[in-house]
Amino acid sequence: MAESDPRQRRDPSSMSRARRYTPRGRTVREAASDAGEDNRAREHGARDREAARRARSREAQQRETEDLAARRRREAAARSRQRRQREPAPEAPRARQEAPARRPAPRRPGTPSPRRPSREAAPKVRQIRELPRVGSPARRLRFASALVLILLLVSGGRLVQLQVTDSAAYAADALNQRLVTEPIPAERGSILDRNGNALAYSVEANYIAVDPTRVEADPAELAADLGPLLGRRASELEPLIATRETPQGEPVQFAYLQRGVDLATGDEIAEIDDPGIIIGDDERRIVPGHDLAANVIGFTGGDSGEGLAGLESSYDDWLRGTDGEVAYERGGSGQPIPGAFYREEPASPGKDVQLTLDADLQFQVQKILEETVDDNDAEFGSAMVMEVGSGEMLAMASTPTYDAADPFEVDDEEVYRDYATQETFDPGSIHKAIIFAAALEEGCIEADGTMPMGQTINKGGQIYEDTYPHGDASLSLAGMIAQSSNVGTILLADCLGEDKVYEYQQAFGLGRPTGVGVTGEASGLLVDPELWSGTSFGSIPIGHEITATLIQMAAVYGAIANDGEYVQPTLIDDLIDAEGDVVEDDGEPETHRVVSEKTAADLHYLLQAPIADGTGTGQNAHLENYRLAGKTGTGKLVKDGEYAPGSVASFVGFAPAEDPQYVVAVTVYVPNGGGGGGTTGDAFRQINEFALGYFGVRPSQGPDPEFDVWG
């Protein structure tokens, strides 16, 4: 056994003492001496045991140090191998193997205990360079405290920014997300006839809109469901439903799908129950007469229900009023939040427009015109009745026409045209009244004068002839008017000269719009005297190489009927506010004198000749009990810069001739051709007959006049 084992350390003389122990043979001194030796032996044994314990403790500590160093070397070697496996690196120098410390041999029993080695003599533990540094808890605590402080400062600063500096901006943004603004459409004003009958007015309806940000259904499927109910193609509705942002990146929260929807249709759409569909109060335009004066009244449309044609367009600002709006906060369900922000700006209703048209007279004129167009296979036509003196249009009809209550169901947009104000044509012989009036005013001929003339005349190499055969003869002014003499009219224009002809054309209102009130009114075309060609001296006096509208020609005869004073035609009687008070009228019509009263009175008599004389071109317009004055015309229509086939047949005049009250004008375009008297004479008579009887005009007194047409 090793020397360090205390069980083997015994005094070799102890056994001998035991054997020599003889209590009876020992003295007290000997016993005491022997006891002292035993005590010293025990003390030496305790010291030996303590030294052995300390040696064992040092050996265990040394082994632990060696084991820790070895373990760390193994771990360092393992990490080195892992690094070499991950990336190539030069081979690390091999660590020198440390020889394990030799454990001291156990001390044999009986051997003296070795002395305790000093602290300087203890073996030194070799430092390993790869040994990690021991952490510092105090430093970690300081770092963690600083990090927490920084986080608190950042969080506090952010809270100050959100709740103090930027709070208003974030609150406004949140409000905008909850805020919804919807329009309150203004009630559109009505269009009334001269007697207060509504020609167009609005009734309660719904508008259908969409908030794309709240649509739950698939946009294509929702568009397919709404299309049949709204009368629109699904391909038109889908982009409106699917577009959630404007090009500027702002959310789209309101877009019209259809306005003026019937209340019943609105109820059907409500059953779809999609939160993105908005159904609001609106109005729908009602036109009770459907096609009655449709070309004059026009129609509305678009997202805002604005006027698109006719008087609905030209007086749109007056009729539509000002829309209001309501703004409120809504919750996630789409319902208004009680007690939250709410603001309403009420709408200002539109104002009414009262026309000079008479609905009953308009109906009859329109009916007569349509029959005339059908009977003569005409392409289009127009007819009107104007009150002499005031210039008020009592009836204005066009055909073909359309249903103004359903204006978009048409095959050709040409039906929207108002042919009385927007269609120009060569007026033909109805223009001759200007030459006759100017010739009388300028003294080129007297009312009972005559003029010799041939059957034809040459102007600029162009032969012009009279349609009524008279050979070389003298014709009175009445005869020239009755037979619509081209030659006689050209000779009178030669007397006037081109400058005077142009001057009287302008004085009678040609070459400029009348300003009657219809959007898109045409001005017609006059040729400046400096641009006249050789044929112009023959063509222009008889109504060619110029263009005019029917309303312009009606105004010409209105000036003659009004004792020589031109009066601007008008369709507007009064402008009425929402309370029914007249707040503005259209002012006094423009007037100016064109010819003297005497010249006008002479023409009142002479213009009866085409109807009353046996050689006249308008005999089929003769009306019992009333004397009619007027002139027929056969003009041309220009299409695409050249004359179209056929002719424009016209009849313009006034009645009663002795005291004119109303101007009547009729024109139709007949592609197959036709004269003014034969095509429009009967319509001229029927319209005069109804108008004179409708307004209670007293019949003419005495027999019809007789004219001496030959000189």
Tell me if 328 is assigned to some domain.
yes
How far apart are alpha carbons 590 and 505 in whole angstroms? Answer: 17
If pLDDT is split at 50, 70 and 90, which confidence band does 92 have? very low
Average pLDDT over residues 144-159: 88
Using an 8 Å Cβ cutoff, are 226 and 257 in contact? yes
Domain match, 439 and 553 both:
yes
If pLDDT is split at 50, 70 and 90, which confidence band does 6 have? very low
pLDDT score, position 172: 65
Round the CA-based radius of gyration of the chain to a whole number and report it: 59
Tell me if 148 is assigned to some domain.
no
3-state secondary structure 467-505: CCCCCCEEEEHHHHHHHCCHHHHHHHHHHHCHHHHHHHH
pLDDT score, position 213: 85
Could you tell me the CATH number of the domain that includes residue 251? 3.90.1310.10
Among the residue ranges 47-51, 175-179, 299-303, 535-539, the one predicted with the least confidence is 175-179
Quote the crossing angle between the two packed helices 498-507 and 486-496, to the nearest 10°.
Answer: 100
Tell me if 382 is assigned to some domain.
no
pLDDT tens by residue, 216-270: 888 898 989 898 888 888 888 888 888 888 787 788 888 888 888 888 998 999 8
How far apart are alpha carbons 310 and 516 in whole angstroms? Answer: 11
pLDDT score, position 693: 96
Contacts of 194 (CB under 8 A, 6+ apart): 354, 355, 356, 357, 358, 392, 394, 573
Q: What average pLDDT is seen over the chain?
A: 85
Domain match, 63 and 187 both:
no
Tell me if 150 is assigned to some domain.
no
Average pLDDT over residues 437-445: 96
Count of H-run helices and E-run strands, the chain = 21, 25
Higher pLDDT, 85 or 76: 76
Instruction: Name residue 329's amino acid.
Output: E
Is the per-residue pLDDT at 3 higher than 50?
no
Domain match, 200 and 333 both:
yes
How crowded is residue 512: how many other Cβ atoms within 10 Å of its Cβ? 12
pLDDT score, position 126: 60
CA 688, 690, 693, 694 torsion-angle sign: negative
Domain match, 568 and 653 both:
yes
Tell me if 204 is assigned to some domain.
yes
Token pair 């641009």: residue: 531
**Domain assignment of residue 281, given as a range:** 181-355
Name the percent of the chain lying above pLDDT 70: 84
Q: What are phi and psi of 547, to 5 degrees?
A: -135, 155
Using an 8 Å Cβ cutoff, are 558 and 630 in contact? no
pLDDT score, position 176: 66
Domain match, 311 and 449 both:
no
Is the per-residue pLDDT at 595 higher than 70?
yes
If pLDDT is split at 50, 70 and 90, which confidence band does 694 have? very high
Query: Reduced to 3 states, what is the DSSP secondary structure of residue 386?
Result: strand
Token pair 């309806």: residue: 205
pLDDT score, position 326: 82
If pLDDT is split at 50, 70 and 90, which confidence band does 539 have? very high
Could you tell me the CATH number of the domain that includes residue 477? 3.40.710.10
If pLDDT is split at 50, 70 and 90, which confidence band does 434 have? very high
Domain match, 460 and 312 both:
no
If pLDDT is split at 50, 70 and 90, which confidence band does 41 have? low
Domain match, 539 and 677 both:
yes
Average pLDDT over residues 355-383: 96
If pLDDT is split at 50, 70 and 90, which confidence band does 21 have? very low
pLDDT score, position 127: 57
Using an 8 Å Cβ cutoff, are 567 and 391 in contact? yes
Average pLDDT over residues 102-124: 51
If pLDDT is split at 50, 70 and 90, which confidence band does 204 have? confident
How far apart are alpha carbons 208 and 276 in whole angstroms? Answer: 11
Using an 8 Å Cβ cutoff, are 528 and 502 in contact? yes
Average pLDDT over residues 186-204: 92
Six-digit token string for 285: 């335009």
If pLDDT is split at 50, 70 and 90, which confidence band does 2 have? very low
Contacts of 386 (CB under 8 A, 6+ apart): 392, 393, 394, 554, 555, 558, 569, 662, 663, 665
Structural domain ending residue among the three candidates 80, 110, 132: 80
Is the per-residue pLDDT at 586 higher than 60?
no
Q: Judging by beta carbons within 10 Å of its beta carbon (0-12, 13-18, 19+), is residue 114 exposed, middle or buried?
A: middle
Tell me if 89 is assigned to some domain.
no
pLDDT score, position 525: 95
Q: Are strands 352-355 and 191-192 parallel, antiparallel or unpaired?
A: parallel
Helix (H) or strand (E) holding 35: helix 28-86
pLDDT tens by residue, 664-685: 999 999 999 888 889 999 999 9
Domain match, 200 and 273 both:
yes
User: CB-side exposure of 176: number of CA atoms within 13 Å?
Assistant: 9
Is the per-residue pLDDT at 552 higher than 80?
yes
Tell me if 163 is assigned to some domain.
no
Higher pLDDT, 112 or 134: 134
pLDDT score, position 661: 97
Using an 8 Å Cβ cutoff, are 422 and 521 in contact? yes
Tell me if 117 is assigned to some domain.
no
Helix/strand/coil percent split, the chain, to 5: 40, 20, 40
Higher pLDDT, 328 or 11: 328
How far apart are alpha carbons 180 and 136 in whole angstroms? Answer: 61
How far apart are alpha carbons 277 and 182 in whole angstroms? Answer: 13
∠ CA 685-688-689 to the nearest 5 degrees? 85
pLDDT score, position 650: 97
Domain match, 338 and 445 both:
no
pLDDT score, position 438: 97
pLDDT score, position 369: 97
How far apart are alpha carbons 566 and 46 in whole angstroms? Answer: 155
Using an 8 Å Cβ cutoff, are 418 and 396 in contact? yes
Six-digit token string for 111: 């051997």
Domain match, 299 and 437 both:
no
Instruction: Name residue 135's amino acid.
Output: G
Domain match, 566 and 421 both:
yes
Is the per-residue pLDDT at 8 higher than 60?
no
Q: Judging by beta carbons within 10 Å of its beta carbon (0-12, 13-18, 19+), is residue 541 exposed, middle or buried?
A: buried
Higher pLDDT, 64 or 195: 195
181-195 burial, b at 16+ Cβ within 10 Å, e below that, comes to: ebbbbbbbbbbbbbe
Higher pLDDT, 669 or 704: 669
Average pLDDT over residues 120-132: 57
Domain match, 471 and 561 both:
yes
How far apart are alpha carbons 397 and 293 in whole angstroms? Answer: 6
Task: Work out how many domains the chain is built from and give that number.
Answer: 3
pLDDT score, position 133: 67
If pLDDT is split at 50, 70 and 90, which confidence band does 30 have? low
